[in-house]
């Protein structure tokens, strides 16, 4: 998805405000003020606040499948590919956690005005890449045939978000003193834990 530097700047500001105040609680005027642009620029670039959120979701999802396929194309073993996929997914959601917070809130609402069709289509395509990888591993006798494939990604994301949304507790527990130490913990300790969990599910499921 080709976006100009100015469009990306506006989306960064909108993402921050949507995550903090909710989509309905954020006005176009607030976004324009924080982005230091004229209100009319938002209409010019995106058309509306709804279209802006849709553009944000599509932008954050745009290269996920390409990077996933790049990992799977490497000449590595199945367990190594699992480790690489988990590390990629964890760091991706850690980086884009604001967007995920927005999605979780807006998509869970009974009445939704946001069009999630393209986002869900991309999500389905990403799932099919992982599904094909696991089924190939099952066929070659590396992975258990009893594993619940649709629950693999939710297991990764669920573990991450439980940690992150309870980070005050876990930062105290693990003596993480700042954002740098938190980021490092996610990249190393948390990622390794999730890698071990997913490999155990794939290889030893019964």
Tally of structural domains, the chain: 2
What is the pLDDT confidence band of residue 22, given thresholds at 50, 70 and 90? confident
Same domain, 89 and 35: no
On the question of pLDDT at 191 being above 60, the answer is yes
Same domain, 68 and 52: no
How many whole angstroms separate alpha carbon 34 and alpha carbon 170? Answer: 32
b/e 131-144 (16+ beta carbons within 10 angstroms → b): eebbeebbeeeebb
What is the pLDDT confidence band of residue 175, given thresholds at 50, 70 and 90? very high
What CATH number does the domain containing 37 carry? 1.10.10.60
Same domain, 53 and 92: no
Same domain, 98 and 200: yes
Distance of CA 147 to the CA centre of its chain: 23
Same domain, 144 and 198: yes
Chosen domain end from 32, 58, 84: 58
Rounded mean pLDDT of the chain? Answer: 90
Counting runs of H as helices and runs of E as strands, what totals does the chain give? 12, 0
Same domain, 69 and 32: no
How many whole angstroms separate alpha carbon 58 and alpha carbon 46? Answer: 13
Chosen domain end from 13, 39, 58: 58
Q: What is the pLDDT of residue 168?
A: 93
On the question of pLDDT at 1 being above 60, the answer is no
What is the pLDDT confidence band of residue 57, given thresholds at 50, 70 and 90? confident
Same domain, 9 and 102: no
Chosen domain end from 37, 58, 79: 58
Same domain, 196 and 153: yes
Same domain, 51 and 69: no
Q: Which domain holds residue 30?
A: 5-58
């Amino acid at each position: 998805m080709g976006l100009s530097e100015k469009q990306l700047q506006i989306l960064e500001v909108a993402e921050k405000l949507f995550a903090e105040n909710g989509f309905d609680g954020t006005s176009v005027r607030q976004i324009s003020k924080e982005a230091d642009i004229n209100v009319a620029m938002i209409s010019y670039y995106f058309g509306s606040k709804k279209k802006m959120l849709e553009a944000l979701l599509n932008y954050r999802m745009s290269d996920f499948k390409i990077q996933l396929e790049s990992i799977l194309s490497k000449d590595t073993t199945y367990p190594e590919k699992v480790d690489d996929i988990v590390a990629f997914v964890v760091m991706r959601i850690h980086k884009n956690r604001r967007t995920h917070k927005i999605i979780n809130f807006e998509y869970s609402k009974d009445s939704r005005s946001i069009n999630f069709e393209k986002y869900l289509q991309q999500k389905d395509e990403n799932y099919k890449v992982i599904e094909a990888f696991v089924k190939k591993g099952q066929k070659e006798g590396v992975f258990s045939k009893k594993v619940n494939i649709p629950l693999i990604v939710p297991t990764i994301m669920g573990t991450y978000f439980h940690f992150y949304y309870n980070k005050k507790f876990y930062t105290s527990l693990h003596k993480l003193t700042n954002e740098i130490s938190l980021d490092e913990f996610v990249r190393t300790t948390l990622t390794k834990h999730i890698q071990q969990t997913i490999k155990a599910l794939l290889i030893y499921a019964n």
